[in-house]
């Protein structure tokens, strides 16, 4: 009778390797099918989402997106950690599909997506472009317009986010400083990328204001509830939202150093961040006529996002494979995204629609929040921990 074979005992090193492999596989599957972590790097969504907020992004809401670039080092995005080496190979390039989800992208959702095809990411594959987070303002098939900062959808005003921010000109008869503005969570500092994040500054008085004794003018970037508090100050004189007038470009003070219409539409439309549209958002299966009105609005969609080959744009004509087309039927849905920090957000007003195949997921939960301008334990924003995203 043969003696029973004793199981081979694994070495401590082998057990450690097995544990690491299991953890990497489990984390990769969770990241792909369920949730992905994301950190807010810039102030474009303040005051709803703050620089330094750590989020969970749900892949389940809109459905899991299959990878276009499956040959990738696990748990990386574009680069191998700590290097400039790409973490992926484009030898295998798959079409993007989406598994069923339990929700469509809705107006008002905070959405994480791969930034559309423009300069910062060069020719990176769609699924490896930089993640952005913005609020969905316009959904497929609807017409968007911005009139004096207010968004209208199909002619009706959209309900604004509770902590949506704009720039205001505040006039008071006292000198204000950091200590004053800190009480209203209005601070100057840097964002997570090291870029300046200035939310208040004193500005030179206009000729008219200089005749008022003791008057000080401040440009303040904040939300409406703070403005209501400022109106209660004994030194309060007046306040107005700083709007870009209709029919004029944003000018040199805008984030792109140009007007909001240029990047998307050339010079055909003099739109700006506060007065924009009307603009019909493309819907899968809908058809448009390609005339002098529509070519500038949809030429980049047709050329870059629809999978068309040999697209040539010549003035107000578009040709595909050498044939001029007079109408076009869209192959996927598109969305119009904007930051809640309306005067400090690079968004669809500047670079156009977000294609459906660029959508990553819905921001659902803030589990940690660190202020990049504070140190040690004061960095933690305790009031923002473990809260759902609205």
What confidence tens digit (pLDDT) does each residue in 368-386 have? 999 988 888 889 999 999 9
How is residue 242 written in tokens?
A: 């700083």
Length of the chain: 390
Residue 223 has pLDDT above 90, yes or no: yes
For the chain, give the percent of residues with pLDDT over 90: 65
Strands 165-172 and 156-157: unpaired
- What does the alpha-carbon distance between residue 78 and residue 128 come to, in Å, rounded to a whole number? 6
Residue 106 has pLDDT above 60, yes or no: yes
Count Cα atoms within 13 angstroms, Cβ side, for 51. 26
pTM of the model: 0.89
> Which H or E run contains 20?
helix 12-33
Dihedral of the alpha carbons of 56, 62, 64, 65, in degrees to the nearest 10: -110
Q: What is the mean pLDDT of residues 218-240?
A: 96
Strands 354-355 and 359-369: unpaired
For residue 207, what pLDDT is reported? 79
């Amino acid at each position: 009778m043969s003696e029973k074979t004793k199981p081979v005992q694994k070495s401590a090193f082998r057990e450690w390797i097995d544990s690491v492999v299991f953890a990497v596989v489990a984390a990769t599957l969770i990241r792909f099918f369920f949730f992905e972590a994301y950190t807010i790097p810039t102030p474009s969504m303040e005051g709803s989402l703050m620089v330094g907020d750590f989020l969970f992004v749900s892949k389940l809401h809109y459905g899991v997106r299959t990878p276009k670039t499956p040959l990738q080092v696990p748990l990386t995005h574009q680069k191998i950690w700590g290097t400039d080496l790409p973490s992926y190979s484009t030898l295998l390039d798959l079409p993007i599909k989406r598994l069923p989800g339990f929700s469509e992208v809705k107006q008002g959702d905070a959405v994480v997506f791969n930034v559309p095809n423009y300069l910062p990411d060069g020719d990176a594959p769609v699924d490896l472009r930089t993640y952005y987070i913005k609020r969905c303002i316009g959904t497929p098939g609807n017409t968007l317009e911005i009139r004096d900062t207010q968004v209208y959808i199909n002619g009706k005003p959209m309900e604004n986010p509770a902590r949506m921010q704009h720039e205001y000109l505040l006039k008071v008869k006292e000198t204000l400083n950091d200590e004053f503005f800190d009480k209203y969570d209005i601070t100057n500092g840097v964002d997570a990328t090291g870029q300046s994040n200035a939310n208040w500054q004193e500005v030179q008085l206009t000729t008219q204001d200089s005749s008022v004794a003791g008057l000080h003018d401040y440009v303040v970037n904040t939300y409406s509830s703070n403005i209501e508090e400022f109106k209660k100050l004994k030194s309060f004189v007046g306040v107005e939202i700083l709007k870009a007038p209709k029919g004029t470009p944003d000018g040199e003070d805008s984030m792109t150093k140009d007007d909001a219409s240029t990047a998307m539409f050339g010079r055909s439309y003099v739109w700006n961040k506060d007065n924009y549209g009307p603009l019909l958002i493309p819907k899968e299966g809908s058809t448009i006529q390609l005339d002098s009105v529509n070519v500038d609005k949809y030429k980049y969609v047709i050329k870059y996002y629809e999978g068309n080959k040999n697209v040539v744009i010549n003035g107000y004509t578009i040709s595909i494979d050498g044939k001029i087309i007079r109408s076009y039927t869209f192959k996927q849905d598109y969305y119009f995204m904007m930051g809640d920090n309306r005067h400090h957000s690079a968004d669809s007003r500047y670079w156009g629609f977000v294609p459906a195949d660029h959508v990553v997921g819905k921001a659902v939960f803030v589990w940690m929040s660190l202020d990049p301008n504070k140190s040690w334990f004061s960095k933690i924003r305790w009031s923002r921990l473990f809260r759902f995203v609205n």
